[in-house]
Amino acid sequence: MPAVHLEVEKKYSADDAFELPPLTDLVLDGAVAVDSGGPVVEGDPVQQQLDATYFDTADLRLAAAGLTLRRRTGGDDAGWHLKVPAGGSARSEVRLPLGRAWRTVPQTLRRMVRAHTRGAVLQAVAEISTDRTVRRLVDATGQVLAEVADDRVTARRILTAADGDGAGEQTSWREIEVELTGGAAELLDAVDARLRERGLASAGSSSKLAHVLAGAGGGSGTPGKGKGKGKGKGRKGAAGKSGKRSGKLTAKSYAGAVVLAHIREQVEQIRNQDLPVRLDAADSVHKMRVATRRLRSALTTFKPLFDAEVARPLRGELKWLAAELGAARDAEVMRDRVAGTVGGDEEAGAQTSADVVEELDRAYREAHDRVLAELDGERYHRLLASLDDLVETPPFTARATERAGTVLPRLVGRSYTIVRRLVEDADARPAGEEREELLHDARKTAKAARYAGESVSRAFGADATAFAEAMEAVQEALGEHQDSVLIRERLRTRGLAATSTEAAFLYGRLHGLEEVRSEQSQHRFDDAWKAAGRKSLHRWTR
């Protein structure tokens, strides 16, 4: 695994006349506290010459996904860098050593971005040279809290621009970067406020590459389209006329257009979570799994709109991917749930608790490693290619060209009917394994009903939203119950296999706590199910 560095920074445009004040002025006048509680000083400035070559596909697929891939010499971190959005002002930077090759992207990085490149060749698209002056804000302990880089940038495109302009045109500009290193987030906010008071504004582009590629479609490039061969009779009308990304969808829109908008979002989410999953970013496995489930659910709920020969194998492959992600997600949930429980348990021995959490963390790591192996496999990338075909040439049937208000509400209503029958069947059974299986199935179908309502909410507004929220409450209550059932089974298994009486006893106590949670979840489910049965929630589905 390459080194990963979390980068939290802000960028500003500056002209040649701007004078950067002493860094202490940017924090002391705001009385910003630092962790050490002592004074802060500015270190000696450092001059750096940075030379970087940036790589992307010919149609800028990485730029379209917000990714930046470069080989840079000079500075403190020379090497190959892959920058991945991590929310807000943060980016994860994957780093590899320079190595010998300078025109060929290392295989490790090619593999990491394959979900976005779709196997297209990575080529040099820009060269950027930066004359950088680095100034550091240091606390009394010698820790660097923040770095402020004053950059004079010279760049040229290697890739020919989308508008036909030739490569080789050179452009220059100045920008200021403020990167948080050891300081708190409040420090970055304070520096940001002071720089804005002095006339600086946020940089117009998210990166130097986006700046230089602006004329070549950087940041808005569209990946190459798939070449699927949908067989539905109504495919062209439903997708071509009303399936565009722009334009408001209503009950009068084509049914296929409404569903396709939802499907497209889930496909993008699966692809967008590929790198965060590889980097083990928080909640990334869960997000990819949810998108996979939403997509499979849409192809099931709205089955009459799709050619069965295309949709059926897709549903099967999505089920496979969700299962692979599910193993890691379940291990993650159990680890975090047990860690949260023993962390607040004064009776649990500290060492025993730590050993139990460490054991569960190993189980999660093993499951996560298996997910990574699958993400590098051909089966996964064949699925991604099939999903591209699905959104670019959707295999619609003639029913997809009917009005959404005529087709979709009844299909959503049918999903609720399935849930109701399962719940009624479970209520008629005594406590035991058979009843638990029915409630587990009810949970899955409640989730499908929720997804169905959410998927059409852009066309049916408040009615679909209220329905989805009611089904979400049912799903969550049943989910808490099912999680408790599964966790109790795993706790019992681990307790029987424990190598010490202390660990076995702790597993037993955790098992008892889960029994209490299960009883509480049953009460929440009863309330949620009663609320979900209100007639007002279902009028629009008839």
Structure tokens given for 432: 């035991």
Distance of CA 67 to the CA centre of its chain: 13
The two most distant CA atoms of the chain are separated, in Å, by 80
Measured distance CA(382)–CA(316) in Å, rounded: 13
Distance of CA 242 to the CA centre of its chain: 28
Select the highest-mean-pLDDT range: 3-12, 380-389, 481-490: 380-389
Report if residue 147 sits inside a domain.
yes
Domain shared by 351 and 207, yes or no = no
Measured distance CA(153)–CA(167) in Å, rounded: 18
Q: Which of 35-49, 216-230, 279-293, 467-481 has the lowest mean pLDDT?
A: 216-230
Measured distance CA(262)–CA(142) in Å, rounded: 52
At residue 378, the 3 state secondary structure works out as helix
Report if residue 448 sits inside a domain.
yes
Report if residue 375 sits inside a domain.
yes
pLDDT higher than 60, residue 225: no
**Three-class SS of 12-45:** EEECCCCCCCCHHHHHHCCCCCCCCCCCEEECCC
Q: What is the model's pLDDT at position 462?
A: 96
The structure tokens 């997708």 sit at 239
Report if residue 80 sits inside a domain.
yes
Structural domain including 379 reads 237-402
Final residue of a structural domain among 216, 245, 269:
216
Measured distance CA(296)–CA(313) in Å, rounded: 11
pLDDT higher than 50, residue 222: no
Domain shared by 376 and 485, yes or no = no
Average pLDDT over residues 356-362: 86
Domain shared by 372 and 514, yes or no = no
Report if residue 230 sits inside a domain.
no
Q: What is the pLDDT of residues 404-454, one digit of tens each?
A: 999 999 999 999 999 999 999 988 998 888 888 898 899 899 999 999 999
Average pLDDT over residues 370-388: 96
| Residue 341 or 121, more confident | 121
Q: What is the model's pLDDT at position 327?
A: 92
**What is the rounded average pLDDT for all residues in the chain?**
86
Q: What is the pLDDT of residues 283-315, one digit of tens each?
A: 999 999 999 999 999 999 999 999 999 999 999
Report if residue 228 sits inside a domain.
no
Domain shared by 50 and 142, yes or no = yes
Domain shared by 245 and 172, yes or no = no
DSSP 4: E
Query: DSSP letters along 476-509, please?
Result: HHHHHHHHHHHHHHHHHHHHHH-SSHHHHHHHHH
Q: What is the pLDDT of residues 150-184, one digit of tens each?
A: 999 999 998 654 544 556 678 999 999 999 988 77
Q: What is the model's pLDDT at position 67?
A: 94
Average pLDDT over residues 31-56: 80
Domain shared by 500 and 390, yes or no = no
Q: What is the pLDDT of residues 472-518, one digit of tens each?
A: 999 988 887 776 667 777 777 877 778 788 777 777 767 777 766 76
Cα torsion angle, 302, 304, 305, 310, sign: positive
At residue 92, the 3 state secondary structure works out as strand
- 285-312 core/surface letters (b: 16 or more CB in 10 A; e: else): bbbbbbbbbbbbbbbbbbeebbbeebbe
Final residue of a structural domain among 371, 387, 402:
402
Q: Where are the beta strands (DSSP E) in 200-276?
A: 201-202
Q: Which of 195-199, 258-262, 373-377, 517-521 has the lowest mean pLDDT?
A: 517-521
pLDDT higher than 60, residue 197: yes
Q: How confident is the model at residue 140 (pLDDT cuts 50, 70, 90)?
A: confident
Q: What is the model's pLDDT at position 526?
A: 87
Q: What is the model's pLDDT at position 490?
A: 75
Final residue of a structural domain among 184, 216, 248:
216
Domain shared by 52 and 180, yes or no = yes
Contact at 8 Å (CB) between 60 and 221? yes
To the nearest 10 degrees (0 to 180), the angle between helices 255-272 and 378-392 is 150
Contacts with 282 (C-beta within 8 Å, 6 or more apart), sequence order: none
Name the residue among 511, 512, 514 with its Cα closest to residue 522: 514
Q: What is the model's pLDDT at position 148?
A: 95
Residue 103: count other Cβ atoms within 10 Å of its Cβ: 10
Q: What is the model's pLDDT at position 57?
A: 94
Classify strands 201-202 and 170-180 as parallel, antiparallel or unpaired: unpaired
Domain shared by 191 and 297, yes or no = no
What are the angstrom distances between the C-alpha of 273 and each of 6, 289, 307? 17, 9, 28
- Domain tally, the chain: 3
Contacts with 264 (C-beta within 8 Å, 6 or more apart), sequence order: 245, 391
pLDDT higher than 90, residue 373: yes
What are the angstrom distances between the C-alpha of 211 and each of 13, 154, 200, 221? 11, 11, 17, 14
Structure tokens given for 244: 């565009």
75: left (phi over 0), alpha (psi -120 to 50) or beta: left
Contacts with 326 (C-beta within 8 Å, 6 or more apart), sequence order: 289
Burial class of residue 425 (count of CB atoms within 10 Å of its CB; 0-12, 13-18, 19+): middle
Domain shared by 393 and 427, yes or no = no
Residue 91: count other Cβ atoms within 10 Å of its Cβ: 21
Domain shared by 383 and 503, yes or no = no
Average pLDDT over residues 93-112: 91
Contacts with 537 (C-beta within 8 Å, 6 or more apart), sequence order: 466, 467, 470
At residue 453, the 3 state secondary structure works out as helix
Domain shared by 317 and 205, yes or no = no
Report if residue 229 sits inside a domain.
no
Name the residue among 417, 474, 483 with its Cα closest to residue 443: 474
Average pLDDT over residues 219-248: 45
Domain shared by 115 and 180, yes or no = yes
CATH number at residue 19: 2.40.320.10
Q: What is the model's pLDDT at position 337?
A: 77
